[in-house]
Every structure is written in structure tokens, then in C-alpha cells.
Structure 1
Amino acid sequence: MYSIVLGSLLISILHALIPSHWVPIIAIAKRDYWSTAKTTKVTFYAALAHCLSTVLIGLFVGMIGKSMAQRISTFSHYAAPVIFIILGCVFIYRHHRHSHFKLSDIPQKVYSKKRIVFILLLAMFFSPCIEIEAYFLMAGTQSVWLVLIIAVVYVVSTVIGMTLLVTQAYNKLLKLNRHKLEHNAGIITGVTLILSGILSFFIF
């Protein structure tokens, strides 16, 4: 249980740090001269929209994990950890294939502020975090409460992380090497998933 919660917390924090989740918001805010308060508010709602789709998928995946654990006694001990390890290997393999956000990616056509915010929220909703779903699957093999704990950990970490990053970066324009951060994020995510899978073999 503890390894699942800890792993999901690490993935959630790392997920919030990935530039592709908050750099577009800053770029739009700077281009349209949003105030810091408005930028923070939009980021908060964007993070919630992103979390909503992720958690909805996670709850469904958790139900699958619970169903599989009830039908196949060895699922939680062998199959679920193997899924962790496979996913970890996939993320490490494709870490160099991430997409890069560019200012030119933002439509230059002038839209109303409400429409821009709506499009941004919609985009965030339809880009759920796939990395965390493996933890929902594993949590589902244990208990419903653990699934809910993972959901809370993910939402709180993501919303606070993204909001703080955007608030700080909006005025200070943090000098981050986005390519290096995204590159390492894939590796860290993969390693975390693999370690979670290995630990699960011995704990459950």
C-alpha cells in the first residue's frame, strides 16, 4: 500500500512539473496580457479539468483491477506488477519522443478571452495523465479506499504544483531547460513505475 501511495505521489509531482502542462498557459497569458490573478485562476481550473478526466479513467481502471483480483487470485501479486514494469519500460523507451510546445503552436487568430479559456480547459481535459493509471489499477486490487486515496493524492499534487509553477513563472519567467526536464521526466517516470512493480512482488 505504502509503495503505491508513494509512487503515485512522485508521479503526480513530476507530472505537474512537466512544462507541456503549464508553459502553454503562461504563453497565452503573456500574449493576451492576463493579470497574475487571472492566470492563476485559469491554471487552477485547467488543472482541475486535466485531473477530472484522469481520475474518471482511474476509477474505471481501479474497478477493472478489483474485478480481476476477485476472479484471478494471482492477478494482484503477479499480473499487476508486471503491468507496472512493462509500462515503465515503455516510458523509458519513448522518453525521447515527447512533443515540444512552441509559441507558434498557439493559434494567432484573435479569439475572445472566454473562448480561449474554454479551448484551453477542453485541451487539458482531453489529455489525461496515462502514467498514473497503473497506480489506480494496482490500488483497485487492494481496496476502494486506496483508489480514492490515489485520486486525492493525484488531484492535490497536480493542482497545487501547476498553480504554484505558473504563478511563480509568470512574473519571473523561470529559466528552465524544458527539453532536459521533459527528457528526464520520461526516464524518472519509467524508473518509478518499474520500481513500484518490483516492490509490489515482495509486498503483496
Structure 2
Amino acid sequence: MDAIFIGSLTLSLLHALIPSHWLPFVTIGQTERWSLRQTLTVTAIAGLAHTVSTTLLGVLVSLAGRQLAENYHDLSERAIPLLLLALGIWYLMQHLRHRHVHDHIDAGSVRKHRSFSALLLSLVLAMFLSPCLEIETYFLSAGAKGWAAVWLVALIYNTITLSGMLLMVMLGRRGLQQVNAHWPGAARFEHNENLITGLTLVGLALVNFFIEF
């Protein structure tokens, strides 16, 4: 039981530090001029979708065994990079569009036409379809020890992962604010936010295509 507790705690903490679990929220929040509260709210909702899907899969794994996790693994590996890639391409298109229309439409009016709900839905969907498959081994082990062990793993994973994601988003946002406040090139950074956000999301998508976290 101690091995399950320590292992799930360690894995959940490391899992929360993966850039694809917090960096998109920092970059998108900065580009969309979200407040810290809005950014953390979106992170919490999307993060909850991620941990809920992981927990649901974990419960199934504890009942149905390892084979179910392996079958779902193929789907989840394809889902999150494709969604991140689509979102990244959208931001790159917005950057190109802005370059052609910035003399006629200011950035504020362009930004108003972006759908907060659509962005939230995309992020929630991406996170829901990318459960943490590493933790499923602990769900599998916990299943042999009874439901108390299963719910303990679920509690540890949900609490640590969500807390870690929120903390990393806060630190990442603060880092960007320091850049904007003290870096002479901040104006250029702000002008190319869509480009930077798009390239970041595309880069994360490519990393997820070739590297299994």
C-alpha cells in the first residue's frame, strides 16, 4: 500500500510539470488578455476534465485490466497532438490575417471576435482526450487491493495534478509579466503573440507526436 501511495504521489507531481499541461494556458491566456483569475479558471476546468478522464479510465482499468488501457493509449496519443496542432494553426492563421488587416482593424476589435467558449471547449476536449496513462498502472495495482486503494490513488492524482497545473500556470504567467515589464523587446513580443502562441502549440503537438510522456 505504501508503494502505491508514494508511487502515485510522485508520478502525479511529475505529471503536473509536463509543459503541455500548463504552457498552452499561459500562452493563450497572455494572447487573449485573460486576467489571472480567468486563466486559472480555464486551467482548472480543463485540468479537471483531464483528471476526470484519467480517473474514469483508471476505474475501468482496475476492473477490466491492462488491455483496455493499451487500446485507449493509441487513441489518446493521436487526439491531443491533433487538437494542439489545430489550435496552433488557428493562431498562426490569425497572425497572418492580422498582418494584412492591422492598418484597418485594431487589435482590440479583432480580439473581441474570438470566442472564449470555443477556446475553452478546445482546451477541455484536448485535456479530456489525453488521460495520464502512466498512473493507470497504479490503478491496476490498487484494483487488486480493493476500492479503498483505488479511490486513494484517484484522490492523490486529482489533487496533486490540479494543484501542480495551477501553480505552474501562475509561475509561467508571472514570468511573462516580468519579460513584458523589463525586456526592451516586449512591444515586438506583444505584436507577435499570435505567432508565438501558434508556434508553441504546434511545437507541443509535434513533441507529443514523437515523444510519449
- Shorter-chain TM-score bucket reads 0.5 to 0.7
| Percent of residue pairs identical | 40
The Cα shift of 1:105 comes to: 2.2
CA deviation vs aligned residue, 1:15-45 (integer Å, no higher than 9, x gap): 0001111101111111111111110111111
- 2:147 corresponds, among 144, 160, 170, to 144
CA distance in 2, matches of 1:41, 1:20: 17
CA distance in 2, matches of 1:125, 1:58: 13
Aligned partner of 2:75 in structure 1 is none
CA distance in 1, matches of 2:167, 2:90: 26
CA distance in 1, matches of 2:169, 2:89: 17
Aligned partner of 2:109 in structure 1 is none
- Partner AA of 2:33 in structure 1: Y
CA deviation vs aligned residue, 1:150-185 (integer Å, no higher than 9, x gap): 00000000110001110121122399xx99xx9xxx
Query: Which has the larger Rg?
Result: 2
Unmatched 5+ residue regions in structure 2? 71-80, 95-112, 180-202
Taking only aligned residues, the RMSD between alpha carbons, in angstroms, comes to 3.1
- Contact 1:12 1:157 (8 Å CA) reproduced: yes
The Cα shift of 1:64 comes to: 2.9
Unmatched 5+ residue regions in structure 1? 66-79, 88-98, 190-204
CA distance in 2, matches of 1:121, 1:13: 21
Aligned partner of 2:26 in structure 1 is 26
- 1:166 corresponds, among 166, 169, 178, to 169
- Partner AA of 2:51 in structure 1: C
CA distance in 1, matches of 2:61, 2:141: 9
**1:107 partner SS:** helix
- Partner AA of 1:169 in structure 2: G
Aligned partner of 2:44 in structure 1 is 44
User: Aligned residue pairs: how many?
Assistant: 151
2:130 is the counterpart of 1:121: no
The Cα shift of 1:106 comes to: 5.4
